[in-house]
Structure 1
Amino acid sequence: MNIQTRLALPLELNLGLDVSRYAEEFLKNGHVRIPHILNSGALELYRHLDAEANWMQLINKPGGGAHEIPRDEWRKPRMPEKARISREMYENACDGFQYCYSALRVPGKDETCMDPVLTQISRLLSEPDVKGMLSAITGISDPVFTDGQVTSYGPGDFLTGHDDDLEGSGRAAAFVLGLTPQWRLEWGGLLMFHELGEVPFCGLVPQFNTLDLFTVPRYHSVSLVSPAAPRQRYSITGWLSRK
């Protein structure tokens, strides 16, 4: 399947996977990691995201809602209110749910946006054969792609523990499609699976062109990205929901 975009190569999902093997692993562990998920277009997609100028820094507020700040503004040392926002963010992270990362929204199936690449990502994920493969692996009948984002974690970004179980959403599985080449363990940004109040039992280093699928609800977090990280941790994230 070829999805034509302004990329140098079309995005092409790898439909030659050993679906039965991955379905067995998902059923057993509630999680599966699938390498080489795209046959082509992954590197071009990474380069497109790395050149994107419209990233928004998202930081949730303790009382509800979120700050949405252009990432270039957030990175300025003297940005007004940055010290206050940072202080509130770290205080809330001590014992509450907190996130700090930048993102681009992936439009819904029938939506378009200014960036045709984001539109094509949405259409790719909604293709019948893609949905069929994801259904076979997860056991979700006719899954619906919802609430997609392209996320970018840089130095200081993180996501504290949560389980994605939003009432009324129908979320049955979450996915993370990793798009960062050559990431090192000590740079942080690990996808962590753990039980509430317990030591993490699984920390996954970001991998390029790799899809992580896991059940909802499942407690997880993204560890703090180190100031030593020389590049951004990119991924496409979202949920598979039941109709």
Structure 2
Amino acid sequence: MDYINPRLDLAQIEQTLKRDGRVLIRDFFVPEVAESLARTVEAIDWSLTYRDTEGDRRLSGPQLRSLTPQQRMQLSEGITHVARHEFQFSFFTDSLAEALQRGDTDLLARLMRWMADDAFLSVMRRLSGDEAINRVYAQATMYTRGNFLSAHDDHVDAEDRRLAYVINLTRQWRPDWGGLLHFSAPDGAVTDTFYPHFNSLSLFTVPQTHFVSYVPPFAQGERNAITGWLIAA
């Protein structure tokens, strides 16, 4: 079946992306695909990803549930300590690439196969005008109370990332719950903000400074998405 909404104005989206370096595309998938993806993501047994003083870390669902209250407090304090001094993130994740490598047959694995195929990559090449794009990285992500992603530009020396994307699968959200994608100027001013509308695709060029705002303790939900990069080999 076709995943992408056939009613999208690709010419207008292409113009906006080339002009601004970013675009928020509403109703990106056909409705039944968005609904199925949302249900699948909501059922994930998430892992927490974050950084400590020695590098990136990930705790599985069983590992998180085994922590004592004191250990949870120490984990939170450690995450905050790193954030005071350098780039930091704290959110929940599940790798679509790992699901594909395991041979999973669920919808997320099928989505990863579709995104790695020309049906998706050709659309991304058209919208960006970048014919070198030929690979995709994808992970499911969830932001809930206490989660955030501090300012960075997505550039890494190890791979040639051309575009970053966020497929938003959050059914209900409020802007005062945080979890918003913000873009900032060199002086720190916020220049644009993308709200996580259900079934929207946030697409932006790399490098570009951005961050996801802190989700406060009073938030009553989870901000679910599939995120990653379009890469040139």
1:30 pairs with 21, 39, 42, which one? 21
What is the TM-score normalised by the length of structure 2? 0.91
CA distance, structure 2, for counterparts of residue 148 and residue 239 of structure 1: 7
Q: What SS does the aligned partner of 1:203 have?
A: strand
Greater helix fraction, Structure 1 or Structure 2? 2
The answer to whether residue 29 in structure 2 is matched with residue 41 in structure 1 is: no
TM-score (structure 1 length as normaliser): 0.87
Q: Which amino acid aligns with 1:84?
A: Q
Question: What amino acid maps onto 1:177 in structure 2?
Answer: I
CA distance in 1, matches of 2:29, 2:99: 20
Task: State the 1:179 CA deviation.
Answer: 0.4
User: Which of 163, 178, 184 is matched with 2:174 structurally?
Assistant: 184
Secondary structure at the counterpart of residue 151 of structure 1: strand
- CA drift at 1:95: 2.9
Q: Distance in 1 between matches of 2:130 and 2:213?
A: 29
Pick the aligned partner of 1:78 from 68, 77, 99: 68
Structure 1 stretch 154-163 or stretch 192-201: which is displaced more? Answer: 192-201
The answer to whether residue 131 in structure 2 is matched with residue 141 in structure 1 is: yes
Matched, 1:99 2:89: yes
Which ranges in structure 2 are unaligned for 5 or more consecutive residues? Answer: none
Letter in 1 for 2:34: A
Distance 1:100 1:115 in 2: 28
**1:87-114 residue CA offsets vs partner (Å, 9 max, x unmatched):** 1211221231101011000127973443
Q: Residues 91-170 of structure 1 correspond to what in structure 2 (within 5 A)?
A: 91-107=81-97, 111-114=101-104, 116-170=106-160
Aligned-pair identity in percent equals 28
SS in 1 for 2:173: coil
| Partner Cα separation in structure 1 for residue 48 and residue 105 of structure 2 | 18
Report if aligned partners of 1:126, 1:145 keep a CA contact under 8 Å in 2.
yes
Which residue of 7, 12, 28 maps to 1:21? 12
Does structure 1 retain, via aligned residues, the 8 Å contact 2:135–2:232? Answer: no
Q: CA deviation at 1:51?
A: 2.0
Unaligned runs of 5+ in 1: 3-11
- Quote the offset at 1:77 in angstroms: 7.8
Q: Distance between the aligned counterparts of 2:82 and 2:88, measured in 1?
A: 6
Aligned length, in residue pairs:
232
Q: Superposition RMSD on alpha carbons, in Å? A: 2.2
CA contact (8 A) 1:180 1:207 kept: yes
* Alignment of 1:65 onto 2:51: no
Residue 42 of structure 2 corresponds to residue 50 of structure 1: yes
**1:17 Cα deviation (Å)?**
1.9
Q: CA deviation at 1:173?
A: 0.6
